[in-house]
């Protein structure tokens, strides 16, 4: 049914004078299995052949979209890109891809300071100064972000890492084994370069943190910490009030 809709869309584009054609798929999200991409490529090529035949056009661009995964958990293995090298000559036209996470995720680290450690009902909660307004992925879809503690520690403890927002979903990690932490310790949340700042919000009246670029031994601010005024600067009282 979707293929029939696509055929109609290509026919319409042709009737409107379009001269160049491509086909695009968004393959998936955070996929680490190379065979998955090979299957999608076959599907895309098959669909393109059917469309070319039914519409009488040549498809020149084959865009596989994004979805190339990265290991978030220590036990996960990286996507073996060498297994995909045959794709370069697989399509009868140009191969395009739109990798997002694969390029930027591991370039970003989210730093947060421990504001308190609370032991209650047999559980340990590590409170930190970053909340779900900055890192929504764990609570939005159960995503895992590895967390490292800076400095020495004695022993490990299984904890929930929780933010400062008054919501019971303000959790960055649940039942996570971490080196023992104390108030003031610095934690580093890994793979925060993709879908973290871009999915952040000012929820709960919280300005977003600053961003710093580090290159070798040099570093500098690349985005300022949001000022509190920002939260109200576009607010007005309508004239009728």
Ligand X SMILES: Cc1ncc(COP(=O)(O)O)c(C=O)c1O
Q: Which residue numbers are catalytic?
A: 166
Site for ligand X in 141-200 (CB under 6 A): 194
Integer Cα distance of 159 and 180 in angstroms? 9
Closer CB to ligand X, 25 or 139, in the complex: 25
Stretch that binds ligand X, among 81-89, 95-103, 115-123, 135-143 (CB under 6 A): 95-103
Stretch that binds ligand X, among 2-10, 94-102, 175-183, 202-210 (CB under 6 A): 94-102
Among 84, 102, 163, 181, binds ligand X (CB under 6 A): 102
Closer CB to ligand X, 28 or 207, in the complex: 28
Stretch that binds ligand X, among 92-100, 126-134, 139-147, 215-223 (CB under 6 A): 92-100
Among 4, 29, 201, 202, binds ligand X (CB under 6 A): 29
Integer Cα distance of 141 and 34 in angstroms? 23
Orientation angle between helical segments 2-15 and 34-55, nearest 10 degrees: 50
Residue 30: CB minimum distance to ligand X, A = 6
3-state class of 239 per DSSP?
Answer: coil
72 binds ligand X (CB under 6 A): no
* C-alpha neighbours within 13 Å on the C-beta side of residue 212: 10
Among 67, 127, 163, 193, binds ligand X (CB under 6 A): 67
98 binds ligand X (CB under 6 A): yes
Among 99, 108, 164, 179, binds ligand X (CB under 6 A): 99
Integer Cα distance of 95 and 74 in angstroms? 32
Task: Report the interface residues with ligand X, using CB under 6 A.
Answer: 26, 29, 65-68, 98-102, 194
């Amino acid at each position: 049914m979707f293929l029939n809709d696509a055929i109609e869309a290509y026919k319409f584009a042709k009737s409107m004078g379009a001269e160049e054609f491509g086909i695009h798929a968004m393959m998936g999200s955070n996929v680490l299995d190379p065979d998955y991409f090979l299957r999608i490529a076959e599907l895309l090529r098959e669909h393109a052949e059917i469309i070319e035949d039914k519409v009488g056009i040549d498809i020149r661009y084959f865009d596989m979209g994004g979805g190339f995964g990265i290991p978030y958990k220590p036990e996960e293995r990286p996507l073996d890109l060498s297994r995909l090298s045959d794709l370069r000559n697989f399509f009868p036209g140009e191969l395009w891809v739109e990798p997002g996470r694969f390029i930027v995720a591991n370039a970003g680290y989210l730093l947060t300071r421990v504001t308190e450690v609370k032991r209650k009902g047999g559980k340990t909660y590590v409170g930190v100064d970053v909340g779900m307004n900055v890192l929504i992925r764990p609570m939005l879809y159960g995503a895992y972000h590895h967390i490292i503690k800076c400095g020495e520690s004695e022993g490990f403890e299984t904890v929930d890492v929780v933010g400062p927002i008054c919501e019971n979903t303000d959790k960055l990690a649940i039942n996570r084994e971490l080196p023992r932490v104390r108030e003031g310790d610095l934690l580093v949340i890994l793979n925060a370069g993709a879908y973290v700042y871009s999915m952040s919000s000012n929820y709960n009246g919280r300005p977003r943190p600053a961003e710093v670029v580090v290159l070798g031994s040099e570093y500098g601010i690349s985005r300022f910490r949001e000022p509190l005024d920002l939260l109200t600067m576009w607010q007005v009282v309508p004239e009728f009030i």
